[in-house]
């Protein structure tokens, strides 16, 4: 299975600012996925990041709020822009090594608190 390094692990940010979260994978993957997990809730897919093309966003998420970069097959960033307290969540990146039957592998998550 893949190993994902995600950082920062946590941050406390002022409202109105932006935070960029990074994920590095130890192998090349076509798609990387970004999830949000609000306190006590399940995981909700924000977007799929494809190398060489724009990210595909799920309903309720827009590029202006959550811009994503995917410069190569092992790295992606998610920015949470113009933050408000409602953005306080855990953000996780994930990859699926298709055909390995190991399921999706997740980064350790970024716990974001907006004050």
Partner 1 sequence: GQQVMQIPQYQHVQEGEDFTTYCNSSTTLSNIQWYKQRPGGHPVFLIQLVKSGEVKKQKRLTFQFGEAKKNSSLHITATQTTDVGTYFCAYNTDKLIFGTGTRLQVFP
The beta-strand segments (E) located in the chain are 4-7, 10-13, 19-25, 31-37, 43-50, 56-57, 68-72, 75-80, 89-96, 104-106, 110-114
Contact residues: partner 1, CB under 8 A: 1, 31, 33, 41-45, 48, 92, 94, 96, 101-109
To the nearest whole angstrom, how small is the minimum distance from the Cβ of residue 92 to partner 1?
6
- Residue nearer to partner 1 on the CB measure, 28 or 58: 58
- Residue nearer to partner 1 on the CB measure, 14 or 39: 39
- Residue nearer to partner 1 on the CB measure, 14 or 40: 40
Decide if 38 contacts 89 (C-beta within 8 A).
yes
To the nearest whole angstrom, how small is the minimum distance from the Cβ of residue 6 to partner 1?
9
């Amino acid at each position: 299975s893949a190993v994902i390094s995600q950082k920062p692990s946590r941050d406390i940010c002022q409202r109105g600012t932006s935070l960029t979260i990074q994920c590095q994978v130890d192998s090349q993957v076509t798609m990387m996925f970004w999830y949000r997990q609000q306190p006590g809730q399940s995981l909700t897919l924000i977007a799929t990041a494809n190398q060489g093309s724009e990210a595909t966003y799920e309903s309720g998420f827009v590029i202006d709020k959550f811009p994503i970069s995917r410069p190569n097959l092992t790295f992606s960033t998610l920015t949470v822009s113009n933050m408000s307290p409602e953005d306080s969540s855990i953000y996780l990146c994930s990859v699926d090594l298709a055909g390995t039957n190991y399921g999706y592998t997740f980064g350790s998550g970024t716990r974001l608190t907006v004050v």
